[in-house]
């Protein structure tokens, strides 16, 4: 790609539960170029964003005049952002001096640090020049522990290590991290998904739109403490939502020749050793990956227990697993077959206030819905510390409208008296390269061993019971006990916040 180098990219580091691959620039820096280190998240959930990864790698190669494209490891496992930052930034022996010439660290990520265990972390320096430590768990409850952890990691990088950090968030699940980063001297960019109703013209502008975010972030000077700075962001519909002036500015940053070259280059970016399209997952690989996650969440009863020793607790676990696998298959079938591959709210199954599941499921299996939600979260690849696991689902947020109000997401099906409505919830769908494997189990449900048959599962839901209630009849016997009476639709249809 013929561009005058504007950056010197010293190294590109790919990380998940540790550093997985490191590309070192074999060439010396040219004069008057900005020195940059690039960190790329390859945790399991990044499978949903490999197209954006390919564009990013192709464009930074152009900006930095890199002699070759580094291969990207297969996304899997959790996210050790803390470890990656400490890997590329030298540990200070005292308060680091302000030095604008230090390399800027540009991080591409779609989520949150969740790998290392620590009780406290250095987040700055006191007046005496000693490291200032903060505990992970705060007695004052200033933030929920998960987000407090993210704040500590970001402050460790900026205030303790003294690094110049730029953070490019990919997808919708990284918004809270970006809000925390915006309170620190961190340059921020957002690569958000295209809108569901994006036109062909919008899709044609996607590469340029992603590149302009990277360009603005990479070329910006280090952000100073307290400095207000506009966040560079892609548009849900870049062709139709940009003004003429905005479109002209972006076209100047990323001209047509660069867009063409990036498109050509991105097809050569290797993900997990494979060039071009993602490698399709077989149904055997899918089932093995599911089992790895189920074992991680302790969903399976111990098969080594002799039959005459299998007590009520053992059988309860078996029944929970049967319900869980049936619920998962139902959820995936609803997504692929009935919803046009659009993601569905996890709350359909695991919602506390609004759910397809009958109240009797909560009564008979306390905590089951919460465990199902954990399974969905783990299936996007972010909770596992296991090299044999990989993501099976993509996730996005139900989002907000143009006025900043939460979008109401709703589920309607024949048999339901009223739609089920949700706001500010996670939406899940199978990753594209897993769809064939999922369809195999939809067509051959008996191969998902241990799952309740679909008809038996439906007896535990409002779909069958509402239809039966409307017909003035009973919903019959459910597996492991009587089918519950239909919960009043008005209660089920409350908005899940």
pLDDT digits (tens, 9 = 90+) for 143-192: 566 789 999 999 999 999 999 999 999 998 899 999 999 999 999 999 99
What confidence score (pLDDT) does residue 172 get?
A: 87
What confidence score (pLDDT) does residue 477 get?
A: 35
Residue 403 CB: number of other CB atoms within 10 A? 5
Q: How confident is residue 398, by pLDDT bands cut at 50, 70 and 90? A: confident
pLDDT at 265 over 90: no
Of 431, 417, 393, 409, the closest CA to residue 466 belongs to: 417
pLDDT at 490 over 70: no
Query: In the chain, where are the structural domains located?
Result: 7-275, 283-492
What confidence score (pLDDT) does residue 496 get?
A: 40
Quote the pTM value: 0.70
Q: What mean pLDDT comes out for the span 406-415?
A: 87
CA distances from 11 to 8, 27, 61, 427 (A): 9, 11, 11, 35
What confidence score (pLDDT) does residue 396 get?
A: 83
pLDDT at 42 over 90: yes
What confidence score (pLDDT) does residue 444 get?
A: 94
Terminal Cα-to-Cα distance of the chain (whole angstroms): 48
Q: What mean pLDDT comes out for the span 260-283?
A: 74
What confidence score (pLDDT) does residue 403 get?
A: 73
What confidence score (pLDDT) does residue 233 get?
A: 95
Q: What mean pLDDT comes out for the span 74-88?
A: 92
State whether the Cα torsion 448-454-459-462 is positive or negative: positive
d(CA 243, CA 245): 5
What confidence score (pLDDT) does residue 425 get?
A: 87
pLDDT at 209 over 80: yes
Q: Helices 256-266 and 206-219: crossing angle, nearest 10°?
A: 100
What confidence score (pLDDT) does residue 78 get?
A: 87
What confidence score (pLDDT) does residue 56 get?
A: 94
What confidence score (pLDDT) does residue 143 get?
A: 57
pLDDT at 386 over 60: no
Q: Which helix (H) or strand (E) holds 218?
A: helix 206-219
Q: Which helix (H) or strand (E) holds 54?
A: helix 50-64
What confidence score (pLDDT) does residue 204 get?
A: 93
Q: Which of 82-86, 292-296, 320-324, 471-475 has the lowest mean pLDDT?
A: 471-475
What confidence score (pLDDT) does residue 151 get?
A: 95
pLDDT at 400 over 60: yes
pLDDT at 314 over 90: yes
Percentage, residues of the chain above pLDDT 90: 56
Distance of CA 388 to the CA centre of its chain: 19
Question: In terms of residues, how long is the chain?
Answer: 497
Q: How confident is residue 440, by pLDDT bands cut at 50, 70 and 90? A: very high
Which neighbouring-strand residues pair with 187?
Answer: 166
The mean of the pLDDT values for the chain is: 85
| Highest mean pLDDT pick, 276-290, 307-321, 423-437 | 307-321
Q: What mean pLDDT comes out for the span 185-202?
A: 92
């Amino acid at each position: 790609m013929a561009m005058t180098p504007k950056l010197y990219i010293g190294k590109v580091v790919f990380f998940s539960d540790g550093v997985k691959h490191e590309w070192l620039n074999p060439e010396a820096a040219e004069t008057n170029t900005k020195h940059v280190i690039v960190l790329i998240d390859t945790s399991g959930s990044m499978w949903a964003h490999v197209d954006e990864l390919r564009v990013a790698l192709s464009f930074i190669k152009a900006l930095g005049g890199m002699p070759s494209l580094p291969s990207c490891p297969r996304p899997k496992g959790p996210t050790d952002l803390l470890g990656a930052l400490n890997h590329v930034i030298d540990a200070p022996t005292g308060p680091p001096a302000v030095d604008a010439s230090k390399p800027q660290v540009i991080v591409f990520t779609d989520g949150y640090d969740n790998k290392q265990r620590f009780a406290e972390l250095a987040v700055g320096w006191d007046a005496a020049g000693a490291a200032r430590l903060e505990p992970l768990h705060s007695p004052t409850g200033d933030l929920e522990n998960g987000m407090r952890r993210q704040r500590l990691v970001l402050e460790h990088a900026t205030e303790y290590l003294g690094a110049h950090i730029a953070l490019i968030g990919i997808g919708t699940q990284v918004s809270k991290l970006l809000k925390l980063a915006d309170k620190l001297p961190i340059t921020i960019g957002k690569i958000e998904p295209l809108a569901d109703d994006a036109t062909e013209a919008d899709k044609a502008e996607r590469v340029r739109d992603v590149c302009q975010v990277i360009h603005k972030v990479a070329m910006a000077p280090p952000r100073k403490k307290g400095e207000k700075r506009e966040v560079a962001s892609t548009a849900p519909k870049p062709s139709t939502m940009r003004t003429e002036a905005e479109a002209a500015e972006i076209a100047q940053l990323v001209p047509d020749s660069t867009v063409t070259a990036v498109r050509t280059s991105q097809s050569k970016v290797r993900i997990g050793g494979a060039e071009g399209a993602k490698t399709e997952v077989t149904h055997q690989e899918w089932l093995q990956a599911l089992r790895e996650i189920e074992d991680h969440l302790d969903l399976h009863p111990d098969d080594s227990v002799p039959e005459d020793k299998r007590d009520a607790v053992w059988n309860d676990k078996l029944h929970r697993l049967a319900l869980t696998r049936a619920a998962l298959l139902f959820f995936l079938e609803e997504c692929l077959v009935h919803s046009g591959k659009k993601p569905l709210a996890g709350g359909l199954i695991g919602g506390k206030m609004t759910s397809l599941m009958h109240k009797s499921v909560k009564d008979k299996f306390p905590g089951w819905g919460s465990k199902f939600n954990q399974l969905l979260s783990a299936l996007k690849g972010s909770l596992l510390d296991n090299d044999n696991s990989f993501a099976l689902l993509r996730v996005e947020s139900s989002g907000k409208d143009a006025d900043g109000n939460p979008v109401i997401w709703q589920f309607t099906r024949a048999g339901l008296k009223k739609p089920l409505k949700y706001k500010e919830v996670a939406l899940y769908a199978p990753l594209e390269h897993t769809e064939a494997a999922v369809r195999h189990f939809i067509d051959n449900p008996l191969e998902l061993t241990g799952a309740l048959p679909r008809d038996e599962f439906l007896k535990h839901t409002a779909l069958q019971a509402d239809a039966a209630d409307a017909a003035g009849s009973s919903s019959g016997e459910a597996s492991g006990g009587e089918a519950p009476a239909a919960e009043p639709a008005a209660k089920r249809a409350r908005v899940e916040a």
